[in-house]
Amino acid sequence: MLGAAIRYSYLNAKTRTMHSMRLRPSDWHILETTKDRDAFLHYLATTSYAPWITEILEQKEQGDEVFERKIFGALFNDYRKILGALRDASSRELILALFSRFEGENLKILLRALFSGLGKAGAAHLLYPVERLSRLPWERLWQQKNVRDAVKLLEKTAFGPMLNHALSQFEAQGRLFPLEMAIDIACFRRIDAAAGAIGSRTDRSRVRDVLGSYVDMLNICHIARLRFVYGLSPEEALNYSYSGGNMDLRTLHAIARASDLSAMAKVLPRPFGGVVQGIAGDLTSLRLKLEEWLIGRLRRAFLGSPFHLGVQVAHLLEKELEIRGLISLYQARIHSPAMKAEDIVPGIFLKGGEHLVQAG
């Protein structure tokens, strides 16, 4: 315990400071009632997001993608702070593995640009600002002439094996879907491997608790989307599920075989069956219910002994969900001003929901 306290005292204080800067329910209420884009941005500029929002206002940049790209800089700044305070190699690898999901999203955009002949100039506004943390050869990747050449350049990276495996499917089908799924699977395999390689038993256990809940939630939403939006078979959807969750293969198979969303809700194991009870029957309702539950779980990482890596992982995941909620609300203020925040943002953000933290 003493060793953990020494190792995490500074990092824990830094993380708790960052966590205390999350938006309050009153902030969400004011943002919901803003009249237009400028009012939304000007209020958000009075919060901890000020450095990134001020840049948008000063440069008078327009577009939903610009807002999304800029505001994620706040999350990546927290990644940098946490990585800067970590000395253990296995702990750093876990945080970098978690960050690799955003590298993966940029890779998807890059592959789409190469596939369509769009080029970097036409896709730059869609890219996450990952440069200060990513070690991928982005300039060389953008210089490639086609998708195959880009995949070849990635051979020695964490994405390489899965992309190479999916390349033949891409060429046979003539669509990027197999490569995009390969990128996602590669990210979660890296996260799972990094979580298992953490040296401290306490760290490993607490990290697994946080990540297991996160991956379970993602798998439910992911399988539902593949089944009921993209029309994949149960076997195909199951094949694209993510590793590292708490649910076993039999449970995931039962979820994938459900005929519709209502049937899926009935076969979900505890606690998920109770969490999604009474959903409106659409994927947005499912996601919001599960995200609210997950945020409660993430906040539990801050209870009890604080000297473990689960605190940092929980903070980064909650910050990410907060930003995604902000993006949804921002888009609603522009395109659907009558839409209520409760229909697009997890309720725990809007009401505080500390009882959910205790109940888990």
Question: How far is it, in rounded angstroms, from Cα 183 to Cα 158?
Answer: 9
Instruction: Provide the token pair at 33.
Output: 């009632």
Percentage above 70 pLDDT, the chain: 94
Structure tokens that stand for 322 in this block? 């907060």
* Segment among 124-128, 286-290, 302-306, 323-327 with least mean pLDDT: 302-306
**Residue 359's pLDDT is what?**
43
Please enumerate in sequence order all residues whose Cβ is within 8 A of that of 49, keeping only pairs 6 or more positions apart, or say none. 71, 74, 326
User: Greater confidence, 235 or 279?
Assistant: 235
- For every residue of 96-161, DSSP letters joined together read HHHHHHHHHHHHHHHHHHHHHT--HHHHGGG----TTT--S-HHHHHT-SSHHHHHHHTTTSTTHH
Taking CA 119 as the corner, what is the angle to CA 117 and CA 120, rounded to the nearest 5 degrees? 160
Q: How far apart are CA 323 and CA 305, in angstroms?
A: 27
The answer to whether residue 235 scores a pLDDT higher than 90 is yes
Rounded to whole angstroms, the Cα distance separating 80 from 9 reads 18
The whole-number pLDDT of residue 134 equals: 97
312: pLDDT strictly greater than 80: yes
Residue 360 has pLDDT above 80, yes or no: no
pTM of this prediction exceeds 0.85: yes
pLDDT of 305: 76
Query: For the chain, give me the number of helices (H) and strands (E)?
Result: 20, 0
Q: Which two tokens stand for residue 275?
A: 């969490």
Residue 328 predicted with pLDDT over 90: yes
**Cα end-to-end distance, the chain, whole Å:** 25
Q: pLDDT per residue over 39-98, tens digit each?
A: 999 999 999 999 999 988 887 667 778 899 999 999 999 999 999 999 999 999 999 999
What integer is the mean pLDDT of 145-153? 97
Q: Tell me the pLDDT of the chain averaged across its residues.
A: 92
Residue 58: Cβ within 10 Å count: 8
